[in-house]
């Protein structure tokens, strides 16, 4: 329940944001976390890509099948929260959750090394794939479901957070339902470091958004037809709600404020509130657009925000790089299983190595005030844009030179991707567009394509996992 009087000061708001960058009790080591969203489909007599329900009468729903791993996988357990949210916990701290369209998301626990994080992601996805394959379920790896519309998929999470989010986004445009019900992404989680390091990592990570969007674009279809973009998922996020998604306004000013905490605080205060009080104090989305700054300073219907309201508001912000106690890097389409490791390899090489990070900033800072336009260009044109292609090649090659002896297997996998795609001016979306002469591909065409991807680079991925 919101407060009847203003009790939350600006210092408390700033402290909460500060903890999003520098959480209390966190060690100073540089960890790596990987999160991957996947579309599970079932091959049936009626359809090669049937949507999989969470539960069904035959006990073959996705959650029911995953529960069969309880007792067989150490530490693996299922929990349903009071609001109906379903989650599976792994013994090492990772978890499985579900998105509103019934997408599956694996969030790996933070690992001390990049190799450990990649091995954990690969082994877990392979374990799930093998288990669900027995029930005719297969995984689709791309940034967007190309075979179904929003209405055909439906909304399958009914916790208040998702109901409010759905109601809020659909009043803005058609992008909100597409994000919630159709999209899948790959997220790379890296530590901020000490305050001085965090300033530079934050700047470099955001500057890299257009380059990585172009490099790894992998969502060229929507509603069973070409979208006109290489990364339609990125376009969705950019247009979803400019007050809370895309490139933050702090990067677009001529005079750049280097403190990420101050920058993020300003961004958060000027984002619209998704859950606000009505005349009786009930929290929800009621059709009005009010910034948190307005609610904090003026109140709404005589109610003022609490610390909990601020925490909830922060959890509904989705910029290209998000502060969550670490840097959640969000500008990536989900990738083919064999290439999922490559974006994380490059980002860790570039952001955890100080000289490389400074070279990234030197190269890309002149483009800072144009980041929003560049990101849109990257989503639409990918590497067909000559400037983006040149920058992408230079950034990629810079990353490859950072590998030390122990990281040679990681660099080898990334180099295989570079040779197959970037060097030739291509990204994964360009290859998907060729599968069926520009029309949306069939599930059979995709599964054959995915197998070829594994044949091309699976040996290098296996070497990384064995090295760990």
| Cα–Cα distance, 259 to 447 (Å, whole number) | 46
Q: Which residues contact 92 (CB under 8 A, 6 or more apart)?
A: 75, 109, 120
| Cα–Cα distance, 210 to 5 (Å, whole number) | 43
Per-residue model confidence (pLDDT) at position 468: 59
Mean pLDDT taken over the chain: 96
Residue 461 lies in a domain: no
Torsion of CA 20, 22, 25, 27, to 10 degrees: 120
| Cα–Cα distance, 136 to 196 (Å, whole number) | 51
What's the pLDDT tens digit per position in 421-450?
999 999 999 999 999 999 999 999 999 999
Residue 50 lies in a domain: yes
Please choose, from the candidates 76, 81, 112, the residue with its C-alpha nearest in 3D space to the C-alpha of residue 94: 76
Q: Which helix (H) or strand (E) segment is 89 a member of? A: strand 86-89
Per-position DSSP letters for 413-425, written without gaps between them: HHHHHHHHTGGGT
Residue 467 lies in a domain: no
Residue 136 lies in a domain: yes
**Contact yes or no for 140/442 (Cβ under 8 A):** no
Structure confidence at residue 137 as a pLDDT band (50, 70, 90): very high
Per-residue model confidence (pLDDT) at position 1: 67
Please choose, from the candidates 64, 92, 85, 87, the residue with its C-alpha nearest in 3D space to the C-alpha of residue 77: 87
Q: Which residues contact 162 (CB under 8 A, 6 or more apart)?
A: 100, 155, 180
Q: What is the 3-state secondary structure (H, E, C) of 230-241?
A: CEHHHHHHHHHC
For the beta carbon of residue 212, count every other beta carbon within 10 angstroms: 25
For the beta carbon of residue 254, count every other beta carbon within 10 angstroms: 6
Q: Please state the pTM of the whole predicted model.
A: 0.97
What's the pLDDT tens digit per position in 314-335?
999 999 999 999 999 999 999 9
User: How many residues are there in the chain?
Assistant: 468
| Cα–Cα distance, 462 to 117 (Å, whole number) | 14
- The owner of tokens 């954990």 is 120
pLDDT at 467 over 80: no
Q: Compute the chain's Rg from CA coordinates.
A: 22
Q: What percent of the chain lies above the pLDDT cut of 90?
A: 94
| Cα–Cα distance, 169 to 179 (Å, whole number) | 9
Q: Report in angstroms the alpha-carbon separations of 69 from 119, 152, 190.
A: 20, 30, 30
What's the pLDDT tens digit per position in 69-109?
999 999 999 999 999 999 999 999 999 999 999 999 999 99
What's the pLDDT tens digit per position in 408-419?
999 999 999 999
Tokens standing for residue 358: 């400074």
- In which domain, by residue range, is 405 found? 31-271+317-452
| Cα–Cα distance, 189 to 371 (Å, whole number) | 21
Residue 22 lies in a domain: no
**Contact yes or no for 324/264 (Cβ under 8 A):** no
| Cα–Cα distance, 199 to 185 (Å, whole number) | 25
**Contact yes or no for 33/107 (Cβ under 8 A):** yes
Residue 348 lies in a domain: yes
| Cα–Cα distance, 232 to 429 (Å, whole number) | 10
Residue 345 lies in a domain: yes
Tokens standing for residue 161: 């957070």
- Tell me 281's DSSP state: -
Burial 389-414 (b: 16+ CB within 10 A, else e): bebbbebbebbbebbeeebebbbbbb
What's the pLDDT tens digit per position in 225-257?
999 999 999 999 999 999 999 999 999 999 999
- Quote the number of domains for the chain: 1
| Cα–Cα distance, 106 to 89 (Å, whole number) | 10
118: domain CATH number?
A: 3.30.590.20
Partners of 106 in the beta sheet? Answer: 36, 96
Structure confidence at residue 311 as a pLDDT band (50, 70, 90): very high
Please choose, from the candidates 250, 292, 294, 254, the residue with its C-alpha nearest in 3D space to the C-alpha of residue 275: 292
Tokens standing for residue 76: 């693996």
Residue 177 lies in a domain: yes
């Amino acid at each position: 329940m919101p407060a009847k009087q203003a009790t939350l000061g600006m210092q408390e708001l700033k402290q909460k944001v500060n903890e999003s960058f520098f959480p209390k009790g966190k060690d100073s080591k540089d960890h790596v976390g990987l999160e991957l969203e996947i579309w599970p489909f079932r091959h049936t007599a009626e359809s090669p890509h049937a949507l999989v329900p969470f539960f069904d009468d035959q006990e073959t729903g996705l959650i029911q099948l995953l529960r069969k791993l309880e007792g067989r996988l150490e530490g693996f357990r299922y929990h349903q929260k009071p609001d109906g949210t379903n989650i599976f916990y792994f013994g090492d701290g990772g978890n499985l959750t579900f998105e509103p369209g019934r997408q599956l998301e694996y969030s790996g626990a933070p690992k001390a090394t990049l190799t450990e994080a990649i091995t954990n992601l690969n082994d877990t996805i392979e374990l799930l794939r093998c288990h669900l394959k027995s029930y005719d379920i297969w995984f689709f790896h791309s940034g967007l479901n190309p075979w179904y519309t929003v209405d055909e998929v439906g909304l399958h999470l009914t916790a208040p957070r998702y109901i409010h989010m759905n109601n809020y986004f659909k009043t803005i445009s058609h992008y909100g339902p597409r994000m919630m019900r159709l999209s899948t992404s790959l997220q790379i989680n890296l530590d901020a470091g000490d305050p001085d390091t965090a300033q530079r990592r934050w700047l470099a990570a955001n500057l890299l958004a257009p380059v990585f969007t172009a490099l790894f674009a992998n969502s060229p279809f929507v509603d069973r037809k070409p979208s006109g973009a290489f990364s339609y998922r990125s376009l969705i996020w950019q247009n979803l709600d400019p007050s809370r998604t895309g490139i933050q306004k702090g990067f677009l000013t001529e005079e750049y404020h280097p403190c990420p905490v101050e920058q993020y605080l300003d961004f958060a205060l000027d984002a619209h509130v998704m859950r606000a009080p009505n005349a009786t104090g009930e929290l929800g989305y009621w059709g009005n657009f009010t910034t948190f700054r307005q609610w904090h300073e003026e109140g709404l219907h005589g109610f003022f925000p609490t610390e909990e309201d601020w925490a909830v508001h922060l959890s509904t912000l989705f910029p290209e790089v998000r502060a969550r106690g670490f840097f959640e890097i969000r500008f990536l389409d989900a990738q083919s299983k064999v290439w999922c490791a490559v974006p994380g390899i490059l980002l860790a090489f570039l952001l955890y190595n100080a000289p490389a990070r400074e070279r990234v900033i030197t190269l890309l800072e002149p483009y800072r005030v144009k980041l929003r336009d560049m990101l849109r260009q990257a989503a639409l044109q990918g590497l067909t844009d000559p400037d983006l292609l040149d920058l992408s090649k230079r950034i990629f090659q810079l990353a490859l030179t950072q590998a030390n002896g122990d990281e040679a297997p990681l660099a080898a996998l990334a180099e295989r991707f570079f040779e197959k795609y970037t060097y030739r001016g291509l990204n994964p979306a360009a290859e998907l567009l060729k599968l069926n002469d520009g029309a949306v591909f069939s599930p059979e065409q995709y599964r054959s394509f995915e197998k070829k991807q594994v044949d091309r680079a699976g040996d290098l991925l296996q070497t990384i996992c064995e090295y760990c």
